[in-house]
Amino acid sequence: MNFVEVRRRHIVWAILQNPTEILIQRTQRVDKGGYFEEETREVGPFVVRIYQTTRHAPVTVDTLGGAKQLDRGWGLLADENADIQAGANVKDEFNVEGIGRFQVVAVYPQVVQGVVVGYQADLEKVG
């Protein structure tokens, strides 16, 4: 067994300690030749691990449509088969029953010997 396979098994084991199934609602801005159009679709489901990274208090942000609460103290661990994205032209969001709604803020591939073995992501709990 090589190190890539060992690391993949470690990630799966860590996910299975507290697994959560998520179905992502992806909103993507697609260039239509002079303008952008938003397209929404579902991606998944994926079995991931959701965890708290810090104990920061939620922050209230005022927007044109009103105020919303953001909690940036959350993270996600997924295996190498997960399709999770974040960026200027894509927004991944999902619900976790009993916890709330999350938006993926950043995605970090976990790479061993040049091979992606999993993903970690920063999450923002939106309320």
Task: Show pLDDT as tens, one digit a residue, over the chain (127 residues).
Answer: 699 999 999 999 999 999 999 999 999 998 888 888 889 999 989 999 999 887 666 666 666 667 766 667 899 999 999 999 999 899 999 999 988 899 999 999 999 999 999 999 999 888 6
Cβ(58)–Cβ(127) under 8 Å?
A: yes
What amino acid occupies position 51? Y
Q: Report pLDDT for 111.
A: 94
Residue 33 CB-half CA count within 13 A: 0
Determine the Cα–Cα distance for residues 99 and 49; give it in Å rounded to an integer.
Answer: 13
Structural element, H or E, at residue 119: strand 115-126
- Joined together, the tokens standing for residue 69 give 């609460």
Cis (ω within 30 of 0) for the bond into 45? yes
